[in-house]
Amino acid sequence: MKQLRELVVDETFEMYVLLKSADVRVARNGKKFIAFTFQDTSGTIDGKYWGASEEEIANFTTGKVVFLNGKRELYQNMPQIKILHLRVAKEGEPTDPGLYMEKAPVDVDEMKQEFNDFLLDITEAKWHRIVRHLVGKYQQEFFEFPAAKRNHHAFAGGLAFHTLTMLRLAKSVSEQYSDLNQSLLYAGIILHDLGKVHELSGPVSTEYTLAGNLLGHIVIIDEEITRACLELNLSETDEEILVLKHMVLAHHGLLEYGSPVRPKIMEAEILHHLDNLDASMQMMLGALKQVNPGEYTERIFGLDNRNFYLPNIETK
Amino acid sequence: MKQLRELVVDETFEMYVLLKSADVRVARNGKKFIAFTFQDTSGTIDGKYWGASEEEIANFTTGKVVFLNGKRELYQNMPQIKILHLRVAKEGEPTDPGLYMEKAPVDVDEMKQEFNDFLLDITEAKWHRIVRHLVGKYQQEFFEFPAAKRNHHAFAGGLAFHTLTMLRLAKSVSEQYSDLNQSLLYAGIILHDLGKVHELSGPVSTEYTLAGNLLGHIVIIDEEITRACLELNLSETDEEILVLKHMVLAHHGLLEYGSPVRPKIMEAEILHHLDNLDASMQMMLGALKQVNPGEYTERIFGLDNRNFYLPNIETK
Amino acid sequence: MKQLRELVVDETFEMYVLLKSADVRVARNGKKFIAFTFQDTSGTIDGKYWGASEEEIANFTTGKVVFLNGKRELYQNMPQIKILHLRVAKEGEPTDPGLYMEKAPVDVDEMKQEFNDFLLDITEAKWHRIVRHLVGKYQQEFFEFPAAKRNHHAFAGGLAFHTLTMLRLAKSVSEQYSDLNQSLLYAGIILHDLGKVHELSGPVSTEYTLAGNLLGHIVIIDEEITRACLELNLSETDEEILVLKHMVLAHHGLLEYGSPVRPKIMEAEILHHLDNLDASMQMMLGALKQVNPGEYTERIFGLDNRNFYLPNIETK
Amino acid sequence: MKQLRELVVDETFEMYVLLKSADVRVARNGKKFIAFTFQDTSGTIDGKYWGASEEEIANFTTGKVVFLNGKRELYQNMPQIKILHLRVAKEGEPTDPGLYMEKAPVDVDEMKQEFNDFLLDITEAKWHRIVRHLVGKYQQEFFEFPAAKRNHHAFAGGLAFHTLTMLRLAKSVSEQYSDLNQSLLYAGIILHDLGKVHELSGPVSTEYTLAGNLLGHIVIIDEEITRACLELNLSETDEEILVLKHMVLAHHGLLEYGSPVRPKIMEAEILHHLDNLDASMQMMLGALKQVNPGEYTERIFGLDNRNFYLPNIETK
Amino acid sequence: MKQLRELVVDETFEMYVLLKSADVRVARNGKKFIAFTFQDTSGTIDGKYWGASEEEIANFTTGKVVFLNGKRELYQNMPQIKILHLRVAKEGEPTDPGLYMEKAPVDVDEMKQEFNDFLLDITEAKWHRIVRHLVGKYQQEFFEFPAAKRNHHAFAGGLAFHTLTMLRLAKSVSEQYSDLNQSLLYAGIILHDLGKVHELSGPVSTEYTLAGNLLGHIVIIDEEITRACLELNLSETDEEILVLKHMVLAHHGLLEYGSPVRPKIMEAEILHHLDNLDASMQMMLGALKQVNPGEYTERIFGLDNRNFYLPNIETK
Amino acid sequence: MKQLRELVVDETFEMYVLLKSADVRVARNGKKFIAFTFQDTSGTIDGKYWGASEEEIANFTTGKVVFLNGKRELYQNMPQIKILHLRVAKEGEPTDPGLYMEKAPVDVDEMKQEFNDFLLDITEAKWHRIVRHLVGKYQQEFFEFPAAKRNHHAFAGGLAFHTLTMLRLAKSVSEQYSDLNQSLLYAGIILHDLGKVHELSGPVSTEYTLAGNLLGHIVIIDEEITRACLELNLSETDEEILVLKHMVLAHHGLLEYGSPVRPKIMEAEILHHLDNLDASMQMMLGALKQVNPGEYTERIFGLDNRNFYLPNIETK
């Protein structure tokens, strides 16, 4: 079956898609309509459902999988779907939203295995216990959540994938600079964004939670370390605990990016660099895969609104 | 007996003073000397002790009260003490450093009484319990610590005095704007700087602790609220807890001043304004009391390095 | 009679409203129409008048009170009025624009009384005479004008109401810090925004005047003090005059906010703090009254584009 | 007779010089000494007078001309004068401080003549009258004052010289762009820095006055225009007056440089450019004349702390 | 024949115009249309061509001259053209795009003559040879290209006109300050923007080239000087070459404006000032000629988004 | 033999050291002295040579190896050498300055071998030829120069060592992100700082050259690529050349750091990240090796003046 991004102008089609969002509005004639965003793993596209009944409004809600019979059109130079027929997917049909969301490019089980290997390389006992405790507590969310609402790694499993990539980079960096404490770097990386499992509402149609808005994921994970210490009976005045907390508190690098303290130990500075590097790469890769060689990407908000050029060069 | 600030040039004197700092250095002739800063409640002044023996070095340490026979001089336009004789205060003489440190201008018992009254006005049960719990836990430090290492309220009892002044201002502000939640404002104010009891080393010769440098007082008090909730069996996902934490986290107003989130509720914004107002007043008052009408103060670091003018006007 | 904000979708109504603005445009079919903004004390709403004759265009002008027969609709999710019939209010009907504009929440006579009391507390003779002279000269405008074109206190009487609130705050602040010169603080506050009576065009549909754009209200009031001194035969080189001028010149606090000098006396610094505090409160209150508990406000331009949360908490 | 800048190391000399500053201090041995800065038209150099009696302290004060017998030395790589003998200049000897201060490189009478020519080219009647009135009122100061305390044109007559250079530049610029109003540009330039006659204390050892600190020269000259209008019976609401005031108010170009409004008419923008251009040239010329080809100047504070290179190139 | 800017609402007309841009889009009904921007020397105006055939789409392309029969209308308060008939200009009719583009206000031959005169005043041999070599190499582009894609001098011949105006200003400035090296100033000015002949795509519908995006015009002209030295057999380590390169590298004045070094010689600083001055004047003149006395211009992006006022004053 | 950093206070010693700098000054008594900075591979220390004869001044110049008999003292808390006897090293004694300068921690021959391996991995022909050409041209300087005058890698061989470390990091990063063009990344890294061989004066007592000050190393290497293309007969308009130049031009990442363009291709962005990462690591390592566990470093200028903490933790 075709995917959304493959449709051409004026093509009529039938396919299962996810309702990524469904906003009810009132048209000029006083009747209600629903403004949908349809999604599958290839991307998203908008479409309006005119003259919606109250029953249809109650049925067609965010997060549902639907069977869509439509026609792809262009309106004011933007693609859209003219809806010919729409119904919620029935039993026996695909109904799992996860089938239609973008996902991390690595299998969850493989990721879990690789994480376990890194965990074993955290040889300092307190860090090992705290990290194991917290990853255990939030294991499901950790492998399902995106790393952000938008910008980088904004897809299911993005949180674990971003963390894993940073761990791999940290491995080669700490081999290069032998003075770095590899255990501390691994422990800090694994925890640094884990607070997002409370900051964001979930893998589907994620939004900031009230705790996310009022506390932020940096403070949330710091509190979790405090709770872990109490549960594991670890003294929070030990230097090992202070530096681990510092790793997560300082990981945004600058106060104006939301860290309450700037990095004051070498490993915290490097954690910030690696976070930056992987986030930048992911944003560039996401934008560049939309264009052909010789073209420029759209401007990328998270990279100071720069656009990037994809060269016409084959040799690597 | 005279105080340090009252001495005139070339005046010889005898008095008890506190050794605020005592740095051992080596002179050009290879012999050691001690660079002292002497303090009493009127201010501080420097003096050098030449040719110090190892025994004297061991004796004359920071925090000791000493009996000083000296002469006030000017060196390169800065006042200094020429030390004629020096010895540590003996039994039967004053030896309590607290006698020679600057203090809050209000009596501790009066302050405690006034705090209790404000505490009773926190009518929301969870806030009341948390605040009472934490103020109880750190009661002694709260009434002894300064509010900062330098800048504003950098004197013994400064932390409680700054907090109390803000409470009084909050009372009249919340009467002016009836939509403000007075209980929340009081609770936030009482806790906002309480983390300084861990961030600073103590009332005498205060320094930043390792926890102060790696976590900062904002995160420290947030963790204390987390611990208090666990001890008091309060659910941390309740909105009352989230907004109380937000009050302390946002109180520096701007990310670049070290708050991990900016104020997102009305009371947090006002808490920030009142903190600013009292800190500014205290810095101006401190500088202005050093000058006469018609003169300018020194530049004040915490107020963007501005200096202030004291007008020649009597009518108020 | 119902107010604009109380109308529900599809409700038909008749009421008197003010034409807050009336822009003549040409539709795609070449015919002219008028884009109205209707206003009453509850708020504003837009509506288009299609196929307007030259006579109607001449009649339906900004600032007129009209009798409107219309129907409230939603268009692209924004409320609007479908105009069924419209005519200018006749003799014997309400025609005073003031009846339909948002107003200060305090009665003008009460405000005047309270101002007089504050004026009596300015005990320094020169300040008293200048303030009395200038408030007398602009009494009518002072109690009618808004405090700004948009942002805070942008309603009739807003200028006096903002000034009065600041005076009340100044009273408690100067009681808290006895070194503050209360007379100077009061005099500065009363004059600080008085230049707006020349900077803005008036209470209805206010715009910046040419003097407002080329000089700004800060310089305008400074010039008024110069004129007042000449008329009252006061020497402008007296320190009392210099510091009073400084109070108004420095009240924006920072050069980048339009003050030609930063505060250099204690009272000028505090005036700036109180101005900030009341403006922030007023912007937050205005935005928060549009939402329900548990919701976020729109982003507020004057507060660095932050939005605010209204907690679900009843106890105060 | 030699000048200060011509002396070589270890050279003994006798000459008349001005006491640019004379600070009394106390040496380590408890005796007083005077730290002098000597000045003639070639520059300045420091020297200390050890063991000064009270009578000498009373005699050797800032602004006096003295007869100095000394020896030029190097101390910590900085030139200084070892004072062999010193006395105040007697009757019959040169005693006018003006003889020893740096001066504008043009004769005052020539400058006056050239100003008169420019004045005649202000053909708009109101501007002509106001400028003539104010230049007349402050004629003496205008031709004696420096343009600044330090930085650019900080020498006697610097204010008039800076203004004159800008007028010459304005003449060629307004010939280049015929849409510029030449009269307005000339009037604005002549007045733009005239407020400095109140902001600074005078031609010798100039300091900021209280009015300078609390109001600043931009507001001071704006007030002078207000007074001039009252004295000349001109209506201040006329557009000619508003734009003239705007010229002086906006001349620093940016709010953060102390202008309360940014340029909003073409001539105000150009006035700012020319002010900048001449100030930069003067600062660069002053620094470059201290160095030889192939060398770098000291860092120039007023030019963002840049240093400049003097090329080894002869052809012009 | 009338020009585009002279047409009034509802006027029907026939005229030759240039297709400044022609974007093909798809309407809601699925049919294609072309969104045109028409241009003549008086300005530009938009118009839509509905139901375009594939042949018409192939014909009506950017840069063509067309014969347009249309009607001027207003749509949503913006002027537009209703297209009644349209065809490409035939042989024997005007077909040169240059006839319909805005141009420098001076004749090309006159400009060339004046440039030659300035070139003769560059008396240093190396600078003279390099400038002559590069102006010769790019003579045609230099007199045809705009100085920018938008903002200042964005019209055909703008590059040469901007350069010429700066040379005239430099002549009077270097007469005013005799220490300036006039040859160096002239050489630097002539080359400073010459790299734009590679940075921009050409005089019609100019866009940034790939070299423009990846290198920028500052580096491009620096490389051209390097090539010129190799071709003219000049040693690049000579100080004359270093300072000439520095003139072009530093001409944006600040690093954040794209200069890799800040001005470090006097002439480079002045070149930056003159570039700024002429660009500002041209932007203001362009905006002010669209308005009447007593009106404000639109906000000008290149001048920090300020708008400017055109005074109601006749006397100059 | 002991090294400079191993000496204790009051220890007398004899050793060969390098004169890192030798400034001649005049003492208060009129006699000349030389202020030396002595250096060996363990660090540097200052010492003054009093009463220097003209012959001694001519002999003891920067870059000489000397035999020093001295005593280590403390003066104003800073270590210094009291010089007992000093003479220039004779024939038969060590005279090579290179023996006493800090060096890259890797052997030059090993570095050369590793570079060759990376060079072979640049598989795109044009990049390979240009890099090989330029590295060949400057081979000696490349392996001798420091990477900076101060801050990071400011030691002999620092330029090659910094480049090599970045290549190793690039290898693992490009394995992690397969879309990166590894050849381009390697070519850009090898060239990015090569311009420093002209910007700095050499491996000993390095200073900025005139070309360094007027052009900067970024433009210098860009010009070298232009010359290489001419010599190798490569077309500079080819996209391969444009992107290679872009790699070096953009490597400072931000305009305010001196890059004339910001990164516009993915590999340029990553080059900037790796440059940053290695420079930060090197600055932290340099500062941390001066302190013991539990201590803070001095503030590091190149890292926003932060200081860093060395934790008391052994496990890695």
pLDDT digits (tens, 9 = 90+) for C52-88: 888 899 899 888 999 999 999 877 666 789 999 999 9
| Chains near C (3 or more Cβ pairs under 8 Å) | A, B, D, E
Within a domain: D225? yes
Taking the Cβ of residue B284 and every Cβ of chain C, the question of whether any pair is shorter than 8 Å is answered with: yes
Q: Kindly report the CATH number assigned to the domain that includes residue F8.
A: 2.40.50.140
The answer to whether B54 contacts chain F (CB < 8 Å) is no
Residue D315 scores a pLDDT above 90: no
SS3 content of chain D, % helix, strand, coil (to 5): 45, 20, 35
Task: Establish how many alpha carbons lie within 13 A of residue B180's alpha carbon, considering only the half-sphere containing its beta carbon.
Answer: 25
Q: CB-hemisphere CA count at 13 Å for B230? A: 13
Cα distance between residue E52 and residue E286, in whole Å: 35
Residue A210, chain C, CB below 8 Å: the answer is: yes
In a domain, F296, yes or no: no
* Average pLDDT value for residue range A216-227: 98
Q: Are residues B207 and B142 in the same domain?
A: yes
Q: How far is F243 from A313, CA to CA, in rounded Å?
A: 10
pLDDT at E29: 61
Chain F from 257 to 276: CB within 8 A of any E CB:
257-261, 264-265
Looking at the structure, tell me whether residues F206 and F81 fall in a common domain: no
Report the pLDDT averaged over residues A206-219. 95
Dig out the tokens for F219 from the structure. Answer: 């433009």
Q: Is E256 within 8 Å of chain D by CB? A: no
What are the phi and psi torsion angles at E38 (to 5°)? -90, 145
B232 touches chain A (CB under 8 A): no
Between CA F175 and CA C65 the distance in angstroms is: 73
Least confident of A289-293, B191-195, C23-27, D91-95: C23-27
CA distance F124 to A35: 50
Judge if E147 and E254 occupy the same domain: yes
- Pick the residue with more confidence: F213 or D152? F213
Of C26, C210, C213, the CB nearest to E9: C26
Is E218 inside a domain boundary? yes
Question: Which residue, of E100, E120, E149, is where some domain finishes?
Answer: E100
Residue-level pLDDT at A20:
85
A117 and A266: one domain?
yes
Residue of F nearest to A316 (CA): F181
- What angle is formed at CA C137 by the lines to CA C131 and CA C141, rounded to 5 degrees? 105
Residue E306 included in any domain: no
Encode burial over B273-309: b for 16+ CB neighbours within 10 A, e otherwise.
Answer: bbbbbbbbbbbbebbbeeeeeeebbeebeebeebebb
Q: Looking at CA atoms only, how far is residue B22 from chain C in angstroms? A: 36
B247-275 confidence digits (pLDDT tens): 999 999 999 999 999 999 999 999 999 99
Chain A residues touching residue F311 (CB < 8 angstroms): 181, 239, 243, 265
Residue F143 has pLDDT above 80, yes or no: yes
Q: Does B214 touch chain A (CB under 8 A)?
A: yes
Kindly determine whether residue E277 and residue D173, on different chains, have CB atoms separated by under 8 Å. Answer: yes
**C-alpha closest to that of D215 among D227, D205, D224:** D224
- Residues A86 and A232 both lie in one domain: no
Task: Nearest chain D residue to E316 by CA: give it.
Answer: D181
Nearest Cα residue in chain F from A307? F264
Q: How confident is the model at residue C4 (pLDDT cuts 50, 70, 90)?
A: confident
> How wide is the angle at C-alpha A58 spanned by C-alphas A53 and A62, nearest 5°?
120
Hey, are the CB atoms on D75 and F214 less than 8 Å from each other?
Answer: no
Whole-angstrom Cα distance, residue D241 to residue E291?
22
Question: Nearest C-alpha of chain C: how many angstroms from E297?
Answer: 13
Please, what's the largest Cα pairwise distance for chain A? 71
Are E213 and F249 in contact (CB < 8 Å)?
A: no
F28 interfacial to chain D (CB closer than 8 Å): yes
- Select from F23, F30, F210 the Cβ nearest to the Cβ of D73: F30
Residue F84: predicted pLDDT: 93
Indicate the residue among B49, B77, B100 that finishes a domain.
B100
- How far does the CA of residue D46 sit from the closest CA of chain B (Å)? 15
Cβ neighbours, 10 Å, residue D114: 15
Beta-strand pair C43-49/C32-40 = antiparallel
Are F136 and F233 in a shared domain?
yes
Is A243 within 8 Å of chain F by CB?
A: yes
Give the pLDDT confidence score for residue D253 in this predicted structure. 97
Give the neighbours of chain A: at least 3 Cβ pairs within 8 Å.
Answer: B, C, E, F
Question: Is residue F121 located within the same domain as residue F250?
Answer: yes
Q: pLDDT (tens digit, 9 = 90+) per residue, C249-304? A: 999 999 999 999 999 999 999 999 999 999 999 999 988 987 889 999 888 989 99
Give the closest residue to D192 by CA, choosing from D109, D105, D279, D283: D279
F43 lies in some domain: yes
Q: Give the count of beta carbons closer than 10 Å to the beta carbon of residue A283.
A: 22
Q: How confident is the model at residue F43 (pLDDT cuts 50, 70, 90)?
A: confident
In this complex, the chains that touch B, judged by 3 or more CB pairs closer than 8 A, are A, C, D, F
B288 vs chain C: nearest CA distance in angstroms? Answer: 9
Q: For residue E63, what pLDDT is reported?
A: 83
Contact between C261 and D258 using a beta-carbon 8 Å cutoff? yes
Average pLDDT over residues B149-170: 91
Structure tokens at B121: 């006005």
D interface test, pick of B73, B80, B310, B312 with most D CB neighbours within 10 Å: B73
E75/C213 touch (CB, cutoff 8 Å), yes or no: no
CA A175 to chain centre: 29
| C touches F, CB cut-off 8 Å, minimum 3 pairs | no
Choose the most confident range, by mean pLDDT, from A68-77, C214-223, F60-69. C214-223
Tell me: pLDDT of B100 over 60.
Answer: yes
Bridge partners (DSSP) of residue D43 are: D40
Mean pLDDT, to the nearest integer, of A8-34? 82
Q: How far apart are the first and last CA of chain B?
A: 34
Neighbour count for residue E1 (Cβ, 10 Å): 8
F119 assigned to some structural domain: yes
Indicate yes or no: CB of F214 within 8 angstroms of CB of D309. Answer: yes
**Cα(F10)–Cα(B297) distance, integer angstroms:** 45
Residues B55, B17 share a domain = yes
Any idea what DSSP says for residue C183? H
Confirm or reject contact between C28 and chain E (CB < 8 A).
Answer: yes
Q: Please name the residue that has the structure tokens 């939004």.
A: A207
What is the pLDDT, as a whole number, of residue F76?
60
Same domain, C114 and C93: no
ipTM for the assembly: 0.86
Which of A30, A210, A214 is facing C73, going by the closest CB pair? A30
Task: Give the number of other Cβ atoms within 10 Å of residue D285's Cβ.
Answer: 14
Same domain as C149, residue C59 = no
Q: Is C309 a domain residue? A: no
Same domain for A141 and A279, yes or no, is yes
As for how many domains chain F has, the answer is 2
pLDDT tens profile D14-55: 999 999 888 887 665 667 889 998 988 887 888 999 888 888
**Cα separations in angstroms, B184 against A36, B118, C297:** 41, 12, 20
F256 vs E: CB within 8 A: yes
Cα radius of gyration rounded to whole Å, chain F: 23
Q: What is the pLDDT of residues C175-218, one digit of tens each?
A: 999 999 999 999 999 999 999 999 999 887 788 999 999 999 99
In this prediction, residue F115 carries a pLDDT of: 96
Q: CA angle E86-E88-E93, nearest 5°?
A: 115
CA A282 to chain F, closest CA, distance in angstroms equals 9
- Chain C residues touching A213 at Cβ < 8 A: 309
CA distance to partner chain F, nearest, from residue E130 (Å): 16
Query: Residues 6 or more apart from E39 whose CB is under 8 A from it?
Result: E4, E17, E18, E19, E20, E100, E101
Please judge whether B23 and F73 are an interchain contact, meaning their C-beta atoms are less than 8 angstroms apart. Answer: no
> How confident is the model at residue E74, as a pLDDT?
74
User: CA nearest C310 in A: which residue?
Assistant: A210
User: Which CATH number goes with the domain that contains F150?
Assistant: 1.10.3210
Q: Which of E8, E72, E77 to mutate to test the interface with C (most CBs of C within 10 A)?
A: E77
Residues of E in contact with C25 (CB under 8 A): 74, 76-77
Distance CA B254, CA B275 (A): 13
Give me the long-range contacts of A147-153 (CB less than 8 A, separation at least 24).
A147/A193, A147/A196, A148/A196, A149/A200, A149/A206, A149/A207, A149/A208, A150/A301, A151/A279, A151/A283, A151/A301, A151/A302, A152/A278, A152/A279, A152/A280, A152/A282, A152/A283, A152/A286, A152/A302, A153/A279, A153/A282
Per the document, the length of chain C is 316
And the tokens for D3?
A: 């000048």
Chain E hits for C214, Cβ within 8 Å: 309
E244 within a domain of the structure (yes/no): yes
Give the pLDDT band of residue F27 (cuts 50, 70, 90).
low
- Which of E216, E255, E261 comes nearest F256 by C-beta? E255
Under the banding of pLDDT at 50, 70 and 90, the label for residue A247 is very high
Domain coverage including residue A259: 108-284
Chains D and A touch (3+ CB pairs under 8 A): no
Of C10, C77, C309, the CB nearest to A25: C77
Q: What pLDDT shows up at residue F112?
A: 96
Instruction: Quote the minimal CA–CA distance from F258 to chain E in Å.
Output: 5
Work out the minimum CA distance from B52 to partner chain F, whole angstroms.
15
Contact of D272 with D173, CB cutoff 8 Å: no
Q: Which of F78, F100, F122 is the last residue of a domain?
A: F100
Nearest by CB to E313, which of D181, D273, D276?
A: D181
Same domain, C92 and C192: no
**Interchain contact, C210 vs D242, CB within 8 Å:** yes
Interhelix angle C182-192/C266-288, nearest 10 degrees? 50
Beta-carbon separation of E73 and C213 below 8 A = no
State the pLDDT at residue F77: 60
